[in-house]
């Protein structure tokens, strides 16, 4: 049962354009969402996060939007750069899950930014 | 520079062997996690620990066990390796509380033949 879904396994975008990566979730208890970026042969690195009390969070070229009613979030990268080419994972957690803050990850979207 | 270090980048083991994957973090994090990454399945949680000697099962614990004798070290054990455990294994750590993202190690690519 995939509670966090990234339905696009891959995305190709031209340099300078906007990249939009999408993520859907099914668990209504999730209240905090994160995006991670992963290069080959490296571990994922934290990119940006958003709490369910917000609908938008911005950090430089990266913006995450949250639509709680649709259980959908998206990551916008503007402008896209070749160094953004990586696999992007969406992750979610619920604060009241007890002893540790487990993250549930999506399946990932491979972004390729072309010249 | 803060780090999560996994002892091996690549491992090849035979079916039936007992396999130890080691992870050490230097950030004084309370929580530590083991995930595996497989194509089309994303990252799936195997086990996690929120304190020394404490452990909880994740989503796919079958065939695995863990050990956390010291705060900085979290070991994943494959009691009898099987070919379906061929995967990329990722260790992560975090402070307690959901607002702190994980810090991941670089991963161990395990092949069971």
| pLDDT tens, position by position, A54-83 | 999 999 999 999 999 999 999 999 999 999
Rg of chain A in Å (alpha carbons): 14
pLDDT of B16-45, one tens digit each?
Answer: 999 999 999 999 999 999 999 998 899 999
| Residues β-bridged to residue A35 | A48, A90
B35 in reach of chain A (CB within 8 A): yes
Dihedral of alpha carbons A74, A75, A79, A81, sign: negative
Between B25 and B98, the higher pLDDT residue: B25
* Partners of residue A9 in chain B, C-beta under 8 Å: 40
pLDDT digits (tens, 9 = 90+) for B47-77: 999 989 899 999 999 999 999 999 999 999 9
CA dist., res. A92 & res. B98, Å (int): 9
Better pLDDT: B18 or A31: B18
pLDDT value, residue A22: 98
Q: Is A41 a residue whose pLDDT tops 90?
A: no
Round to whole Å and give the CA distance between B38 and A101: 22
Q: Name chain B contacts of A32, Cβ cutoff 8 Å.
A: 98-99
Supply A1's token pair.
Answer: 């049962």
What residues of chain A lie within 8 A of the CB of B54, using their CB? 99
Question: Which pLDDT score, from 0 to 100, does residue B87 have?
Answer: 97
Q: Could you tell me if B33 lies within 8 Å of chain A, comparing CB atoms?
A: yes
What is the reported pLDDT for A102? Answer: 82
How confident is residue B99, by pLDDT bands cut at 50, 70 and 90? low
Write the residue in A42, A51, A108 that is nearest to B106 by C-beta.
A42
Contact A46 B44 (CB under 8 A): no
pLDDT band for B7, please (50, 70, 90 cuts).
confident
- Going by C-beta distance under 8 Å and a sequence separation of 6 or more, which residues neighbour residue B64? B34, B46, B47, B76, B77, B78, B79
Determine the Cα angle at B98 with ends B92 and B99, to 5°: 100
**Residue A98 in this model has a pLDDT that exceeds 60:** no
User: Is 70 exceeded by the pLDDT of residue B91?
Assistant: yes
CB pairs under 8 A between A and B: 72
pLDDT of residue A76: 98
Confidence class of residue B89 from pLDDT cuts 50, 70 and 90? very high
Over pLDDT 70: what percentage of chain B? 95
Q: Work out the minimum CA distance from B16 to partner chain A, whole angstroms.
A: 27
Region A31-59: mean pLDDT is 93
């Amino acid at each position: 049962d995939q509670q966090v879904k990234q339905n696009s396994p891959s995305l190709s975008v031209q340099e300078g354009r906007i990249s939009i990566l999408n993520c859907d979730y099914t668990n209504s208890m999730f209240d905090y969402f994160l995006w991670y970026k992963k290069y080959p042969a490296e571990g994922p690195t934290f990119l940006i996060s958003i709490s369910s009390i917000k609908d938008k969070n911005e950090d430089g070229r990266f913006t995450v939007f949250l639509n709680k009613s649709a259980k959908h979030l998206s990551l916008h990268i503007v402008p896209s750069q070749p160094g953004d080419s990586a696999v992007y994972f969406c992750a979610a957690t619920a604060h009241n899950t007890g002893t540790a803050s487990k993250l549930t990850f999506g399946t990932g979207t491979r972004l390729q930014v072309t010249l | 520079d803060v780090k999560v270090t996994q002892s091996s980048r690549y491992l090849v083991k035979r079916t039936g062997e007992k396999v130890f994957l080691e992870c050490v973090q230097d950030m004084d994090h309370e929580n530590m996690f083991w995930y595996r990454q497989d194509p089309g399945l994303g990252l799936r949680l195997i086990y996690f620990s929120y304190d020394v000697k404490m452990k909880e099962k994740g989503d796919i614990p079958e065939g695995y066990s863990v050990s956390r004798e010291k705060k900085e070290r979290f070991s994943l054990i494959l009691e009898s390796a099987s070919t379906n455990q061929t995967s990329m294994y990722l260790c992560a750590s975090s402070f307690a509380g959901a607002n702190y993202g994980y810090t991941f190690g670089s991963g161990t690519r395990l092949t069971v033949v």
